[in-house]
Structure formats: C-alpha cells, structure tokens
Structure 1
C-alpha cells in the first residue's frame, strides 16, 4: 500500500491507494505546530484490510517527523489513538 500526502496552506490529506481504490484521512492546520484530523474515509472495498490504521500510523509518524501535535476530531482516529497509548507524545 502506498500512502501519499497532499498539503495545502490550510490543511491536506493522507491518501492510501490499494487494489485500485483510494482511502483518505483529512486534516486542517491550526498552526505550524498543530493539525486537526477531522475525517477518515475508507471505501467498502478496502474495509478490513488495515487501511485506516495505516493512515492513522502515517499521520502519527508525520507528526513526529514534523514536530507537531494532533487534535483528533475524527472518531476513527480518536479510537485508534485510545488503542495506542504510545501515540500520546503527538496526540493532544
């Protein structure tokens, strides 16, 4: 699975492509040190394949590399963060 990033000045998205389908995790940038993850969309054809988890992990790794924090408004990302206490260094 390949995950790419699309960045705009006000936010962006992480995009996973697998089996000809696309899943996304969108975010808005509250400041240079803070993003808000607000949506995760995984089509039915990719459900159960770990795509959402891969997007969430990618977001955490990007935050660690970039030195910013994440506010999880997206219910899926919020649930993943609760299951992964080792993400507390970047999840507010």
Structure 2
C-alpha cells in the first residue's frame, strides 16, 4: 500500500495530500462534538491509487486519538468505513 504524506489543517478543517502536484482532500466540520466528513476529493488524473482511502483513514485515526465520534456524511467515507470495520466503534 502506498503511503502518502498527509497534512491536517485543524483551522480549515481539512486533511490534504499532494500527489504529482495535485491536491486531494477530505473536508469536515463539527456538529457539536461529532466530526462530520462532508467531502472527499481526488483529482481525476490521480484517482484509483488509494489516496482517498488514506485520507479518510487519517481522519478516523485523528478522531480516535481525540476521542471524537465520526459521521461520514459523504458517500465515499460512508462506504469506506463499511469496508474498514476496525473503525466502526468511532461511528456517531
């Protein structure tokens, strides 16, 4: 599995990585104390490399470390967590 250098900007509420000069991101917001993933985006030229998966994993790992529950409101994140049952305990 490819490892990507993922950056978290807690002020902008986003996780990002740059691959081949193109930025991929996961954007989130808080609904009370629940972290809500509302957008996952990967530019078409770098799709299919597991970038979105690594970004969503980073969000869930951040939430686990922060003791925060997650609501995957975007379709990609919702499908991702169904495939990665080890994060089901974090679902709000």
After TM superposition, the score normalised by the length of structure 1 is 0.90
Deviations 1:8-58 (A, max 9, x none): 2xx611001111111000000122x31100000100111011000000110
Structure 2 unmatched runs, 5+ = none
Aligned-residue Cα RMSD (Å) equals 1.2
Structure 1 residue matching 2:89: 3-state secondary structure: coil
Q: What is the alpha-carbon distance in structure 1 between the residues aligned to residue 19 and residue 66 of structure 2?
A: 26
- How many correspondences in the alignment? 89
Structure 1 unmatched runs, 5+ = none
Q: Which runs of 4+ in 1 moved over 2 A?
A: none
Cα drift, residue 91 of structure 1 = 1.9
CA contact (8 A) 1:2 1:18 kept: no
After TM superposition, the score normalised by the length of structure 2 is 0.90
